[in-house]
Structure 1
Amino acid sequence: MPALCLVLGLLWTGPVIAESAEIIALGDSLTAGYGLPAEAGFVPQMQAWLVAEGVEAHIVNAGVSGDTTAGALARLDWALAPEADAVIVTLGGNDLLRGLPPEEARANLDTILSRIAARGLPVLLVPITAPGNYGPEYKAAFDAIYIDLAAEHGALLSEPFLAPILVLPDRQAAMTEYVQPDGLHPNAKGVALVVEALGPEVERLLARVK
């Protein structure tokens, strides 16, 4: 009997603890948390949301303020740490601010998604909606980038990053309450709305982690 107990004791090592998945949040100032206290940006608020939901995951902030799709592509190799299990891609806002051609943003995002796919990592692509001041053709071409590339690369596609704010019935009141004075970046309350909308999408992303 003692020998049997010893054998069983050697075979049983206790419950297996799954390691926390690592998500790389690749983006620009919207991801980086521009203009906000460290704890109020998109990544820390999304991390807190996941913890509250009991989700085992760690998000790495790979957002760089001012980054275009070209800038993100240039730093992609070092941004994708070897430990990465999944990627959230939120890019395109600075391409829009500079009025860069939609075909350039499309080509850069296409390459970014291809390189991520080569690593076997699932992706959540978060669109940025073009304003109408560049004309309807520009807007249609830019907005289509995310739909087309998500389909081509098999990436998850969420609603646009700022949609939870922009869909509120009183646009002027929403901008005052949820957006910083620059009119571009959400404040802490605005980020909370974004996180509430994107949280379930991040859970869907994690479900794809192998």
Structure 2
Amino acid sequence: MHIFLKFSYFFVLIGMISCGDSTSKKTDEQSTEEAKQQTKIKSKTLEIADTKTILFFGNSLTAGYGLDTKESFPSLIQNRLDSLDLNYTVINAGLSGETTAAGKNRLGWVLKQKVDIFVLELGANDGLRGIPLDETRNNLQTIIDAVREKNSETKIVLAGMQIPPNMGQEYTKEFRTIFPDLAEKNDLQLIPFLLDGVAGIPDLNLPDGIHPTAEGQKIVRENVWVVLEGLL
């Protein structure tokens, strides 16, 4: 009887040890899994923190007027950045019909977020409406100053623009010089002419003759990329 009891206690002890080992293994596995999850969360957090922002601030040309949003040149830039595994997020802040004055007025809420590269594409609607050139120039300068005041580290790219000679040769010529003049004065990167290779070509523009088609937007992307690539 004593022998039987001893063996009984022995098996109970073995069982307790086995259960303890099993519980310990489960705890270790859970701890390992939790550690992995924490590592993933930290990694994702760091990735988000390291993500830089490129903001395109413009009018209907930036917005991709008449097209699906994914066909606009800012979206095409995002696709290229992703394909090159570059950690940038593109924000399309284009608004159809925007003038430099209207852009100046809505700039405040756009700059509430951190912007690493600011692409300024405004002025075309001023030119088409015959707005005084000094007003256009001053509005663009105000926008540039506001961006730098918000964050002096933000890199600014200015998109050059040209217009048809509807307002006369003198107006058209002086309008064209606004952009390189401002770029030189403020030490900005300049896209000489945003619509180079697209403007005036019917097959690359919508029926209005002003806004690029999807194929035209691809050419605009290249015009932007030539300058943007050096800042990444």
TM-score, normalised by the number of residues in structure 2: 0.75
Q: Which has the higher helix share?
A: 2
The code of the aligned residue for 2:66 comes to: G
Secondary structure of 2:222's aligned partner: helix
The TM-score with structure 1 as length reference comes to: 0.82
Which structure is higher in RCO with an 8 Å CA cutoff and minimum separation 6?
Answer: 1
Question: How large is the RMSD of aligned CA atoms in angstroms?
Answer: 1.8
How far does the alpha carbon of each residue in 1:138-193 deviate from its partner, in whole angstroms, 9 at most, with x for none?
11211111111111111100121111214xxxx5xx32x21111111001000011
In structure 2, the CA distance between the partners of 1:71 and 1:99, relative to structure 1 (3 Å rule), is same
Partner of 2:212: 186
**Residue in structure 1 matched with residue 186 of structure 2 by the alignment:** 153
The DSSP-based 3-state class of the residue aligned with 2:127 is: helix
Q: Secondary structure at the match of 1:150?
A: helix
Structure 2 distance, partners of 1:45, 1:90, is 16
Which amino acid in 2 is paired with 1:133?
Answer: N
Partner in structure 1 of residue 157 of structure 2: 124
Q: Which structure would you say has the larger Rg?
A: 2
Name the CA distance, whole Å, in 2 between partners of 1:163 and 1:200.
12
Structure 2 distance, partners of 1:71, 1:204, is: 30
Runs of 4 or more above 6 Å deviation: none
More divergent stretch after superposition (60-69 vs 77-86): 77-86
SS state at 1:165 partner: coil
How many positions carry a matched residue from both structures?
186
Report the secondary structure of 2:176's partner residue: helix
Partner in structure 2 of residue 79 of structure 1 = 110
Tell whether 2:81 aligns with 1:55.
Answer: no
2:135 equivalent among 82, 104, 110: 104
Give unmatched runs, 5+ long, in structure 1.
Answer: 1-12
Q: Which one-letter code corresponds to 1:19 in the other structure?
A: D
Give deviations 1:101-124, integer Å, cap 9, x for gaps.
Answer: 111100100111111122211101
Using the alignment, how far apart are the partners of 2:135 and 2:218 within structure 1? 31
Partners of 2:131 and 2:74 in 1: CA distance? 27
